[in-house]
Amino acid sequence: MSPTTRDADRSPCDAAAALIPRVLAERAVFPLYQPLVDLATRSMVGVEALARGPAGSLVEYPDVLFGAADRAGLLPLLDQLCFGRAVELARAAGDVTPPLVFINAEPAVLDNAMTPELVAEISAERSFRIVMELTERALAAAPAGLLHIAGVVHQGGGALALDDVGADPLSMAFLPLLEPEVVKLDMHLLRDPYAPYTIETTAMAGAYADRTGAVVLAEGIETEADLEIAQALGARWGQGWLFAKPGPLSAVADWPVHHSARLRPSRPDLHEPAGTPFSIAAARHHSRTGDQPMLDGLTDYLWRQATGTGSYAVVLGAYPDPATGRTWLSPLASAAESAAFVGVVGPALPGDAPPSVRHATTSSDGPESAETVLAVIGPHCAVALCVRPNAGGQADFVLTHDPDLVHAIGRMLLRRLGTAAERQTSPATDQRVGRTVTAP
C-alpha cells in the first residue's frame, strides 16, 4: 500500500492518517509473532502477536500505525482489527500455533463496543488460549471499562498479562487489582539489574506470583547474560532476540513446545464482584457496631496506613454525604503526595478535590450510596473499612485485612469511580458496557 499523488502533497503524519481508512477497508494488518519460551528448557510456551501494517508503507510499524489511526479518529476500529487479525492468522496456522497467544490491547479504546467482525473471530473455535496484554495506563484511564473487559476475557476462558511492569509505579500498584495470570517485566530492568528499584520491583513481582500462582516473564532477553539475569530476578518465562525475532507463525513450526506449561484457570467473577462493599465484607466477616468516635478513630487508622504505604499504594474511597467528603479533603491530599493512585466517589464536594486525586460525583441512589468505604492497597498492605448506618442511630462496620476481600472491595470502588466519570463526560446512553459476548 503506497501513498497516492494526493498523499504526497501532505505531511508524513497527515499522509499516514489518510491511509488508515484503506487499511481498515482492506483489512491490511499482517501481524508477526514472537516466541515466548520457558527459560529453563528454552521450549516454546506461546507467542506474542505484534501488529504490522502493509510492508513498505508509511504505516508498517506499530507506533506510526496506531498514531495515524488516533489522528484519523479511527483508533478503536484499528485496534480491534489488529486483535481480530492476530486471532484469525493464529487459527489459520492450525497445529503450528502454540497453546498460548498473547495479544495487546490499546488502553484508550477498551471501553468501546466490539465490532461484529471481532466478536465472530474470537468466538470461533480455536485450539489456543488468548492472553490479553494490558498496561497500567488502561486501569488508570478507564477502570470500569477495563475491569469489564477483564471479566469478559475470563468468561471466555482467556487470561490476562500486565505488560511493562516496572516502567511506572502504577503497574505494581495496580497488580493486585487486575490480578493477571502473567507479569511481564519491562526490559529496562534487565539492563540495570542491581539497581534498588529493579530489586524492589522484581521482589514484589515474585511475591505476587508466589501468592497467586501467576507467571513472571522477562522481556528484552538478547544475550546469554540477559537470560541468567532474568532467571536470577525471578522470571520463569521470557522473550527476546536471543530466542527469535518476530516473524510469521510458519517460522516456529519446528520449535519444541512446552506442552505442560499452564496458566491458572479463568475466574469469570473476579473482576466484577456482585453486591456492595459492606455486603461482601459482612458476608465473610462478622460486622460490629460502633459510634461516631469509634468510626473516626478507625478512619484515621486507615489514613495513617495510606500515607505510610509508599509509592505503590492505591487509596480508594466512597463517602455518602458532602460533610464526610469535606473531612476527607485534607487526608486525601496527604495520601496523594506519595501514593500511586488516589480516587474517591460521592456527592459533589463543597470544595475542590486535590488535583492529584481522581474524584467522581455519584448520585444518592442505590444501596452503595449509603455506605462509607475506605480501602488502602499496597504490596505489603491490604486494609478496608466498610460502614453502613443502622436503625439504632449508630453504624455497623467491618474492618478487614483479608487481601482477597480488600482487593475485591477495591475493584468495586474502581468500577464505581470509572462508571461515574463516564456518566459525567458522556451523558448519552452508554452502550459500551453492554457487551454480551463470552470471549475471548
- Specify whether 197 is located in the same domain as 328: no
- Specify whether 305 is located in the same domain as 235: no
Domain with 323 in it: 277-425
Altogether, the residues listed in the chain come to a count of 440
* 390-395 LR contacts (CB < 8 Å, sep 24+): 390/289, 392/289, 394/289, 394/290, 394/291, 394/292, 395/289, 395/290, 395/291, 395/292, 395/295
Looking at the domain assignment, is residue 11 inside a domain? Answer: yes
- Specify whether 55 is located in the same domain as 88: yes
Average pLDDT over every residue of 17-39:
96
pLDDT, residue 2, reads 54
pTM of the model: 0.88
Higher pLDDT, 169 or 90: 90
**431 pLDDT band (50/70/90 cuts)?**
very low
> Which residue from 241, 221, 255 is spatially nearest to 99, judged by alpha carbons?
255
**71 pLDDT band (50/70/90 cuts)?**
very high
Higher pLDDT, 234 or 392: 234
Give alpha helix (H) positions in 260-380.
277-284, 292-308, 322-336
| Number of other CB atoms surrounding residue 365 within 10 Å | 7
| Number of other CB atoms surrounding residue 349 within 10 Å | 18
pLDDT, residue 418, reads 78
Residue 353, pLDDT > 90, answer: no
- Specify whether 244 is located in the same domain as 291: no
What secondary structure letter does DSSP report for 257?
B
- Specify whether 283 is located in the same domain as 238: no
Q: Return the CATH number at 13.
A: 3.20.20.450
**306 pLDDT band (50/70/90 cuts)?**
very high
Looking at the domain assignment, is residue 262 inside a domain? Answer: no
Looking at the domain assignment, is residue 266 inside a domain? Answer: no
Looking at the domain assignment, is residue 326 inside a domain? Answer: yes
Query: Into how many domains does the chain fold?
Result: 2
Average pLDDT over every residue of 268-275:
92
Q: What are residue 372's DSSP bridge partners?
A: 387
Q: pLDDT of 406-425, one tens digit each?
A: 999 999 999 998 765 554 44
- Specify whether 234 is located in the same domain as 93: yes
pLDDT, residue 108, reads 67
- Specify whether 134 is located in the same domain as 232: yes
Residue 8, pLDDT > 70, answer: no
The position carrying cell 540477559 is 226
- Specify whether 135 is located in the same domain as 12: yes
- Specify whether 248 is located in the same domain as 282: no
Tell me which of 252, 286, 309 is where a domain ends. Answer: 252
pLDDT, residue 355, reads 84
pLDDT, residue 399, reads 98
Residue 427, pLDDT > 60, answer: no
- Specify whether 215 is located in the same domain as 327: no
